[in-house]
Amino acid sequence: MAPWISSSEPVRQDCGIPAIKMQNVTYAYESGARPIIDGVSLTVNAGEWVTVTGPSGCGKSTLSGLLSGYLPRAGGGIRTGGLKVSGLDPATAEIADMAGLIGIVFQDPDAQLVQGRVEDEVAFGPENLCYPPEIIEGRVTAALRDVDLQGRRRDSVNQLSGGGRQRTAIASVLALEPPILVLDEAAASLDAAARRRLLALLRQLHQHGRTLVTVTGRLDELALAAQRMVVLNAGRVAADGPAAQLLREHRPLLGRLGLLPPGAPATGEASLGAAAPEIQPGGSDAVSGAADSIAGPNPGPHRSGGSPLLEIAGLSFAYGSKTRRQRRTSVQAMEPAAVLQDIHMSIREGEWHILRGENGSGKTTLSRLMLGLLQAPPECIYWRGRDVSRLSLYELAADIGYVFQHPERQFVSSTVLDELLYGPRSTLRLRPKENAPGPVLRQARDMLRLVGLEGREQTSPYLLSGGEKRLLSVAACFMLGKKLILLDEPTVGTDYAGARLLSELCRKTVAQGAALLMITHEPEFFAGENTRIWTLENGRLREE
């Protein structure tokens, strides 16, 4: 596929005014709470490309929210210090003025998608700025071409994969043609090919004079394409300078923060992208100790055997299609294109399966059919020998856990600790004010230590960073002792340290006999693990 090529004209910015200027900015979500951004001073000149990086929870997404004006204008909280975007304070300037200056692609694309159809979503911004129809049409067409969605412009946004929705969010910002573009983990849901196309697009935008700020927890090829890098840690600037120089002079710091994979060379974006994918964050001894307190010593790979827990035989599926039983009594009509075709697969106890494929290949669809979130065709999927099409969602959920691609969609409690305890409390049928048993509470606290959330017990899950939310959602599901756990893109938005925590937790869970099916476009994070890898391509499944 051809790379995305931006058609934008060269952008003229007033070089005498910094694109972004922060002077001793501090921000907390509540009065008296710990500052998420703590005394940050930072200047980004017009036409610069800067990467802002740091571990999960360091304040990267909060910084993006401050730049856009969402914080504190809509999201609340308390900001002090001076902040100007092209000379305007985003917290007090007119929204229309800010929309013409700066565009933000948020970490969760669904948080900024507001329309039903793809082209309506991309047109939404220019329409609200009252541009003439011919200008709007030209911008929509150009933006959709830039993100390779021309053929999906009339589709429902909800029909797109996670990567497709992320590209739609990018297009909706491109259509505004802002001179400053901030991308907060904007490549997180994209497959490898789409990431390469995004990198080509960003280089084109930068050549045309755009000011770019890429926000990420990983120093990969996309992050290191920027000439300058700003490292945040605990809400403060820990390092700031040319990317190549920081890689040479601050490598120990970057390693401790979990921003680099081991074996990554000191310089060179391309060579870093090819570095060994195994994760090696700082504090590994503490991590291993916490994991051992939950699962005990790692006994090595679990020997699977016996009958499959889940078996798929000849599964084909298309959205909007009728089941075999319905088709016998209906008028013959054109069937929609199949998302899945003749799928065969089996999963046994103690097996760790990885399912990969490009965005839109049907990975999430397959997992939802397994769990009963989508109605499966009869006599195609069997759970412990029983036809899934004849089982209720509640029967399947008793044994199968599911970690959603967007963790906010499954949070049900107001604090981190209560989120971990919610499932065990429900299983034990405890009354609302009845305390969880001591062993369950200890397990929850050990789990918090393992996923790096110790001390955050009373924090709202919604106030965690994107990577922290994902680790919490996985930890909450693993607390339930399910026989099979489906994880949908669990590494999206996590840094290398978070991915290693996830890998270790999965390894020990499998060693105890549970089965895992991990849907990911980043299988390199789990290289060296005892996994079976399946690939979905054009609706068909093959084992590597």
Q: Judge if the upstream peptide bond of residue 72 is cis by omega within 30 degrees of 0.
A: yes
Q: Can you give the pLDDT of all 544 residues of the chain as single tens digits?
A: 334 444 445 555 565 799 999 999 999 988 888 899 999 999 999 999 999 999 988 999 999 999 999 999 998 999 999 999 999 999 999 999 999 999 999 888 888 888 889 999 999 999 999 999 999 999 999 999 999 999 999 999 988 888 899 999 999 999 999 999 999 998 888 888 889 999 999 999 999 999 999 999 999 889 999 999 999 999 999 999 999 999 999 999 999 998 987 555 444 443 444 333 333 333 333 333 333 333 333 434 444 567 899 999 999 999 876 544 444 444 344 455 678 999 999 999 999 999 999 888 899 899 999 999 899 999 999 999 999 999 999 999 999 999 988 888 889 999 999 999 999 999 898 887 788 999 999 999 999 998 889 999 999 998 888 889 999 999 999 999 999 999 999 998 888 888 888 998 999 899 999 999 999 988 988 988 999 999 999 899 999 8
Q: Is residue 382 part of a domain?
A: no
> Can you name the residues that pair with 311 across neighbouring β-strands?
346, 382
Q: Residues 54, 121: one domain?
A: no
| Count of domains observed in the chain | 3
Q: Is residue 424 part of a domain?
A: yes
Q: Is residue 360 part of a domain?
A: yes
Of 157, 177, 197, the position where a domain reaches its end is 177
Q: Residues 40, 162: one domain?
A: no
Q: Residues 295, 409: one domain?
A: yes
Of 129, 150, 177, the position where a domain reaches its end is 177
Q: Residues 217, 365: one domain?
A: no
The structure tokens 């007090």 sit at 92
Transcribe 520-535 into DSSP letters.
Answer: -S-GGGGTTSS-EEEE
Q: Residues 201, 156: one domain?
A: no
What one-character DSSP code corresponds to residue 4? P
Q: Is residue 267 part of a domain?
A: no
As to burial, measured by CB atoms within 10 angstroms (0-12 exposed, 13-18 middle, 19+ buried), residue 450 is: buried
Of 177, 193, 226, the position where a domain reaches its end is 177
| Pairing status of strand 310-317 against strand 340-347 | antiparallel
Q: Residues 79, 193: one domain?
A: yes
Closest CA to 499 of 166, 55, 61, 117: 55
Q: Residues 191, 160: one domain?
A: no
Sheet containing 78-85: order of strands: 37-44, 20-28, 78-85
Q: Residues 491, 404: one domain?
A: yes
Q: Is residue 385 part of a domain?
A: no
**Domain boundaries, position 492:** 289-299+348-377+391-543
Are residues 476 and 468 in contact, defined by beta-carbon separation less than 8 angstroms?
no
Quote the distance between the C-alpha of residue 15 and its chain's center. Answer: 35
Q: Give the per-residue pLDDT at 305.
A: 60
433 Cβ contact partners less than 8 Å away, ≥ 6 residues apart: none
Are residues 371 and 396 in contact, defined by beta-carbon separation less than 8 angstroms?
yes
Q: Give the per-residue pLDDT at 494.
A: 86
The CATH number of whichever domain residue 407 belongs to comes to 3.40.50.300
| Pairing status of strand 352-357 against strand 532-537 | parallel
Q: Is residue 524 part of a domain?
A: yes
Q: Residues 419, 478: one domain?
A: yes
Q: Residues 95, 239: one domain?
A: yes
Q: Dihedral of CA 215/216/217/218: which sign?
A: negative
Q: Residues 52, 171: one domain?
A: no
Q: Where is 194: in which H helix or E strand?
A: helix 192-207
Q: What's the token pair of residue 78?
A: 């308390």
Q: What's the token pair of residue 358?
A: 């490009």
77 Cβ contact partners less than 8 Å away, ≥ 6 residues apart: 27, 28, 29, 30, 71
- Single-letter amino acid, residue 145: R
Q: Residues 352, 211: one domain?
A: no
Nearest-angstrom CA–CA distance, 20 and 22: 7
Look up the pTM and report it: 0.83
Q: Is residue 421 part of a domain?
A: yes
| Pairing status of strand 381-383 against strand 310-317 | antiparallel
Q: Give the per-residue pLDDT at 96.
A: 92
223 Cβ contact partners less than 8 Å away, ≥ 6 residues apart: 51, 53, 214, 216, 229
Transcribe 207-262 into DSSP letters.
Answer: HTT-EEEEEESS-STTGGGSSEEEEEETTEEEEEEEHHHHHHHSHHHHHHTT-S-T
Are residues 534 and 317 in contact, defined by beta-carbon separation less than 8 angstroms?
no
Transcribe 104-134 into DSSP letters.
Answer: EE-SSGGGT---SBHHHHHHHHHHHTT--HH
Q: Give the per-residue pLDDT at 111.
A: 83
Nearest-angstrom CA–CA distance, 370 and 402: 10
Nearest-angstrom CA–CA distance, 135 and 141: 10
Nearest-angstrom CA–CA distance, 318 and 340: 7
Q: Is residue 520 part of a domain?
A: yes
